[in-house]
A = this chain, B = another copy of it.
């Protein structure tokens, strides 16, 4: 994998030019993406910015995010060949920092649950997860140092865990969704994928112009280990990885204790699909009305069911979410972060993109989540560190601490 910070250090010391770094990413895509299917298309050749804190950084852009110089197809033949006039806000910001939005990465159709053609770099028979499939796979395969994805259920944290990389779903709307195809406006969150947590922290701090995100370093943190029982049981291997991550945090000086989330969180978790699908029905109304037959099976059926949802059900689901959000804010007085599994277990086969059951609640809460891989045998497993709304720097600092501690022996 390619480290953003390593690349930047070489560029700053003059041993690598931004132009050569971008050429390297192009060469890696040409050489290694063939069977992977992470990359849909690359930007036309052109001058590479020589200046800027992200000069030389090639970025993968999930194909539901608008790019003025490349088609944006939302993973669907309905939008085949569509070219936006403008860049999405986050893409324009990356360019302002000197980065090169180099490639559009494969997405499931409209960031839904139907698998797209991307393979997991660790095992081509397995899913890389979804819906940000290409972004996660491109980082894991060493094609790019940074990629953008989005999460509405678990579409950033889950694919990162399946692919053995780091990712952050930041606080809701910290990165603007302007120019991102909407699935659910109350949930859609732009996130970042990279090799490790320090890379994520640098990129996020620059993108959102909050340098404190990269510099926060809490001492003797309190970490609440949480199994999310209301969401069902994770695989034994995932729970073992969670326990290992908890021990690693303790070795790094954290106080770790168990947390059972009270009832309002079970209700909020159950409310997530109602919020999501009531909004998706409106957000995708044109596609549904004019191209129903061209929608893939899972999304088509999901929108069929969503037609029956009522405004009263939506309002009730929103109230459940609001109540849990307020309670969570208070609970963070007692700990600095929550530590939980990033997915049910290892990547399943490619018939699905996996299950978002351990991600949903946190997307609905709008809180920052950072996933780090737990080293071990076989396919990757991840754990996620969750902080209070707006405490993205803390989530990253604690995730970085656990990431580093996990590299040492148990």
Contact = CB atoms under 8 A, between A and B. Distances in A.
Nearest to A315: B390
A311 interface: yes
A277 to B, nearest CB: 14
A352 interface: no
Nearest to A93: B285
Contacts of A176: 182, 185, 279, 282-283
B311 A92 contact: no
A315 B210 CA distance: 11
Contact of A283 (B91, B178, B185): B178
A278 to B, nearest CB: 10
Interface in A330-377: none
A225 to B, nearest CB: 30
A77 B343 CA distance: 47
Given A311-B208, A311-B210, A89 B289 contact: no
Contacts of A287: 86
Task: Place the interface of chain A in its size category.
Answer: 35 or more
Number of copies: 2
B282 A96 contact: no
B182 A286 contact: no
B68 A286 contact: yes
A93 B281 CA distance: 10
A68 B78 CA distance: 13
A79 B85 contact: yes
Given A208-B311, A279-B176, A311-B210, A285 B92 contact: yes
Contacts of A177: 185
A202 interface: no
Given A68-B290, A89-B283, A89-B285, 17 more contacts: A68-B286, A86-B286, A86-B287, A88-B286, A89-B286, A92-B285, A92-B289, A93-B282, A96-B285, A176-B279, A176-B283, A177-B185, A178-B185, A208-B311, A209-B310, A209-B311, A210-B311
17 contacts: A68-B286, A79-B86, A82-B85, A87-B285, A89-B182, A92-B286, A95-B289, A173-B185, A176-B182, A176-B185, A176-B279, A176-B282, A178-B182, A178-B282, A209-B310, A210-B311, A315-B390
Nearest 6 Cβ contacts at the A-B interface:
A92-B285, A86-B286, A87-B286, A92-B286, A178-B182, A178-B283
